[in-house]
Amino acid sequence: MTRKLEEFQPLDDKIVRMYTCGPSIYQLPHIGNYRTFLYEDILVRYLEYLGYAVERTLFITDVEDKAIAEAQKERVALQNLTNKNISAFVHEFKKLGAKKPTHIARSSQSVRQAVQIIETLLKKGCAYWHQGNVYYDVLKFKGFGRLYRRDMSRWPKKKKRFHKDTYPGNRWNLGDFILWHGCREGNKACWDTSIGKGRPAWNVQDPSMALKTQGMQADIYCGGVDNMIRHHDYVIAITQAVTGKRFARFWLHGEHLFVEGRKMSKSLGNIVYPKDLIERGCEWQHIRFFLINGYYRKRLNFTFDRFKKACDRLHEFKDMVNWLQKVKSTIESSDRRAVRLIGKLNEEFEANMNNDLHVKDAFDALFEIVSRLCSLAEKGKMSITDSQGAIKTLKRIDHVFQVIF
């Protein structure tokens, strides 16, 4: 929110509450989606490394315009489509070394909470009915657009409404956004509720899943950079209008992953899924390493050449670690340089990770230190006890990375 690096302080000293935007499950997630989910996993694991308990809710949008259209296109029931894709997502999520979230929430299972939120917004005058739908009047929320830095002077004087859950492109919809889709003839995704028959729109679904799991106040909210457009500011407006409290202090947004310098899209035919790489003989650990080995706020470009180089670098590092594990020395105490280097493993790792999760810098620092340790061990200047200490430290670090052992 401030665009500054700030020291992390949770609301509760004992537990970190974290919300993360998951997939819109009308189709399978691609490697760009997984880049986002994996930087979030790194954050969870690093907070645990530092001693925090983390309660994470992963939001899954399984009822929205695109999913309904896809189910109709494939001539299957919406639930059958989303269940199949969610099952595949959870399987791939686990294969990529991601820790299972405390809560995997589905928007279809929090309709009652969505209605509760909408009823509150209607009573407070922030929302209104129009032709069977409910819309949020953004001008009723002071400070709307603050996260994105939306220039509200450009807001139209004439009332405009936007009816879809999502819109293509990186432009703002300058007008009121939909909260509730009233059921029309032929609609299949409808619920009977206290405000009538219909379904919650996308932007009220995250708040409803939050209300059902951890409540509408958290320490950290994560997503992809696309969520800066027409989503997270809407979520803030909804939740804070209901509670009067700040929804989250820390907001993290991961940048895009491009393929051969171009954004992934169906029209270009360049979407890459994890299974595409696995079918080419890659390992899940390779995919994880490539996706985390950068700075999550900077764009990452996938090419098969760059992917191979990343895999080779990981293998080189793992070979050095394996060699350290096999050190057989007769000396009782190590060279002072080895002792200092072992101490720097934690020091360098934490310094880079504390700097807003600079994973690549952390890995590169570990690579250099382990290389120097191997050189000393080769010269017989490292004891078995110290080599075991280095491996113990690296195993603790690998709780976060999940790629070394």
**Where is the domain boundary, 221, 244, 259?**
259
For residues 103 and 246, membership in a common domain is answered with yes
Say if residue 343 is in the same domain as residue 250: no
Report the C-alpha gap between 333 and 190 in whole angstroms: 71
Please indicate, yes or no, if residue 267 is contained in any of the structural domains: no
Is 347 contained in some domain? yes
Task: State the pLDDT at residue 332.
Answer: 72
Q: Please, what's the b/e burial string for 250-271 (b: 16 or more CB within 10 A of its CB; e: otherwise)?
A: bbbbbbbbbbeeeebeeeeeee
Overall number of domains in the chain = 2
From first to last of its 405 residues, what are the pLDDT tens digits of the chain?
Answer: 999 999 999 999 889 999 999 998 999 999 999 999 999 999 999 999 999 999 999 999 999 999 999 999 999 999 999 999 999 999 999 999 999 999 999 999 999 999 999 999 999 999 999 999 999 999 999 999 999 999 999 899 999 999 999 998 888 999 999 999 999 988 889 999 999 999 999 999 999 999 999 999 999 999 999 999 999 999 999 999 999 999 999 999 999 999 999 999 877 889 999 999 999 999 999 999 999 999 999 999 999 999 999 999 999 999 999 999 988 766 777 788 989 999 999 999 999 999 999 999 999 999 999 999 999 988 888 888 899 999 999 999 999 999 999
Distance CA 35, CA 357 (A): 14
What is the C-alpha to C-alpha distance for residues 338 and 331, in angstroms, rounded to an integer? 13
Q: Is residue 298 part of a domain?
A: no
Give the Cα separation of 145 and 240 in Å (integer).
Answer: 13
Is 372 a domain residue? yes
208 and 120 fall within a common domain:
yes
User: Are 91 and 237 found together in one domain?
Assistant: yes
Domain harbouring 247, CATH code: 3.40.50.620
Q: Are residues 310 and 255 in the same domain?
A: no
Same domain, 218 and 346: no
Asked whether residue 311 falls in the same domain as residue 251, the answer is: no
Has residue 106 been placed in a domain?
yes
Q: How far is CA 343 from CA 140, 366, 390, 394, in A?
A: 55, 11, 8, 11
Q: Which domain holds residue 241?
A: 15-125+201-259
Q: Indicate if 242 and 356 belong to the same structural domain.
A: no
Do 270 and 261 meet the contact criterion of CB atoms below 8 Å apart? no
pLDDT attached to residue 267 = 78
Beta bridge partners of 17: 55
Q: How many helices and strands (H and E) does the chain possess?
A: 12, 14
Pick from 337, 374, 367: nearest CA to 352: 367
235 and 357 in a single domain? The answer is: no
Supply the pLDDT for residue 334: 74
- Asked if residue 181 belongs to a domain, the reply is no
Query: Can you list the positions of beta strands (E) in 344-397?
Result: none
- Are both 115 and 249 inside the same structural domain? yes
d(CA 293, CA 311): 11
Interatomic CA distance for residues 339 and 382, integer angstroms: 8
Beta strands in 176-285 (DSSP E): 176-182, 191-193, 196-200, 218-224, 248-254, 257-259, 262-263
Length reported for the chain: 405
Asked whether residue 100 is assigned to any structural domain, the reply reads yes
Is residue 72 located within the same domain as residue 217? yes
In a domain, 182, yes or no: no
Place of tokens 């080779």: 312
* pLDDT at res. 176: 98
